[in-house]
Chain A
Amino acid sequence: MLIKSKVLKRFLKRKSSLVGGIIIIIFILVAIFGPYLTSRNPLDIDLRNTYQKPNRDNWLGTDNLGRDTLTRLIYGARITLIISFTSVFLGTLVGLILGVIAGYYGGLIDNILMRTTDILLAFPGLLLAIAIVAILGSGIMNTMLAIAFYSIPYIARIVRGVVISIKGLEYIQACEVIGCSNFITIINHIIPNSMSQVIVNTTLNLGTAILTSSALSFLGLGVQPPHPEWGAMLSTARDVMRTTPIAALIPGVAITLVVLSFSLVGDGLRDALDPRLKNN
């Protein structure tokens, strides 16, 4: 596939995106193989060893209950990964379907769907997520649903715009002339051609999703203790910011690094896939 190798080449040319990509790969590997990297249990409490600074036993120190920060960070990556990927996948899927329907059919359906997204977009994303969790109750499952739900309107809007621009092209008219049904036109032509936009926005959304899930947990609405989640870890460490700043610093840096990496990769993908730069 000539197109794909070209995109890859262009992507790799951008150093910042490459670094972001490497960080994300490490993040994913750590999340998957976490249990093999550490023999400890993230929930093991050791009250004799609370608030340790980094030392030989606890490379990144311990928290208020003496649990090993590194272990919790590794297991936290797992939860973060599961929450962000699942919720973004769900949100993108629904957003894609709604966006395609609105963009392709237009008219009344489009109006209804887009006015609904307008209403949803009027709320700040986090506020919406908080409201949903407040209704559904906290927990991993509900956090995922909340994040998925609030990313739907964003994706739907973007997809709709892309679909409208593709719909005007002659090859879609050609589909109609040769007798393709709407369903085939959408599946075979509209969706594949809007995919690059969807991929870029999904990547950018992953960063936002991680941020939101951390924020929810930080506020005590997301993942509940004792599960190790980065936002929750940050929240716990907040009380001892003055005395043991490292405890807050570590999950904070982890969140920042991963979110930033997703942003960089998203930007890199956008440039690599941008059709305006293609063929020129």
Chain B
Amino acid sequence: MLDKKRELLVVDNLKMHFVVRGEGFLSERKYLRAVDGISFTIYEGEVLGLVGESGCGKTTTGKLIVRLLEPTEGKIFYKGTDILSLTRKQFRKYRREIQMIFQDPYSSLDPRQTIGKTIGEPLKVNKVKGDIDKKVKTLMKEVGLLEEFYNRYPHEFSGGQRQRIGVARALALDPTLIVCDEPVSALDVSIQAQIINLMQDLQEKFQLTYLFISHDMSVVKHMCDRVAVMYLGKLVELAEKDKLFETPKHPYTKVLLKSIPVPDPDKKKEQEAAMGDVPSSIDLPPGCRFQSRCKECKDVCKFVEPELLEIEPGHFVRCYLYNSK
């Protein structure tokens, strides 16, 4: 079934290292390996979830894909074209097809622009032909905003409505792929559900492909077709949603799933917590990144980092426990 799907975006060994200053005055340059060699494919029409804890590099990955950041290394192919090798001008026509929805509905809207202007801006700067006003109003209707909001300012709206505005802006250019960077995590519970439903409706209606970045496993499970788990700049597991949630392989994925508090008092579980804290991604020790917190850590884990292997069709894991295959 996988081969029938068309590859939309292929990420190949993408790396993003930030220079950070060492502690002393003349100390060496140190690198924060925010994204450290990740590869994955997004197929047309799917929702790929990218999960992980803060600092694992998931947001950086999203920003690299929309080219808000230039990677240190690696390639991104969109419909077969290596978009990173394109100049700004050449990239323009792809830019329209890859859009982004941001996390914070408060800082993602210009406080001095009306809603209509904000949504219409992508149309205007890309010189889209036709009646922009009319298009903006259609878009507003599409995301559940009333037409009379057109001339209002963002500060008059609640978080949920602001996020709808952000969604409308991302939709304006008829994109194919939308990178959704924690689009609901800043919202209240009852509003989260509204936005999730809206995003699902829009996906169906416009045949969108989402890269859905989130730390909330429940939301990811609800939204996504496949899920990729990141830990300290690397993918540790990637699989179809049901496989990942039912038979997680990587020890980190297991811990992650066990950590979610279930909203049911009868399913109180013995809180099986992961040991310790996430180490800093500056100066990582050799070997597996998860070794310091892993219960099944073996000697080999401390020296050589395991490869991301396909242990079953479509199920990738980076762990020595599954290396025999």
Contacts and interface: CB of A to CB of B under 8 A. Distances in A.
B102 A170 contact: yes
A243 interface: no
B122 A179 contact: yes
B169 A178 contact: yes
Interface secondary structure of B, over-half rule:
loop
Interface string B153-190: 10110000000001001101100000000000000000
B17 interface: no
Contacts, number: 66
Nearest to B126: A179
Residue of A170, A173, A180 with most partner-chain B CB within 10 A = A170
A108 interface: no
B16 to A, nearest CB: 15
A180 B125 contact: yes
Given A171-B108, A171-B110, A184 B68 contact: no
Interface in A166-218: 169-171, 173-181, 184, 188-189, 192-193
A192 B99 CA distance: 25
Interface secondary structure of A, over-half rule:
helix
A181 B111 contact: no
Interface string A143-175: 000000000000000000000000001110111
B280 to A, nearest CB: 22
Contacts of A178: 95, 99, 121-122, 125-126, 169, 172-173
B125 A189 contact: no
A177 B68 contact: yes
B216 interface: no
B153 A170 contact: no
A196 to B, nearest CB: 10
Interface in B237-282: none
Contacts of B199: none
B92 interface: yes
Contacts of B53: none
A176 B68 contact: yes
A119 interface: no
Given A177-B66, A177-B68, A178-B122, A169 B99 contact: no
B104 interface: yes
Given A171-B109, A179-B173, 4 more contacts: A175-B121, A177-B95, A179-B96, A184-B125
6 contacts: A2-B156, A171-B109, A174-B100, A174-B169, A178-B121, A188-B110
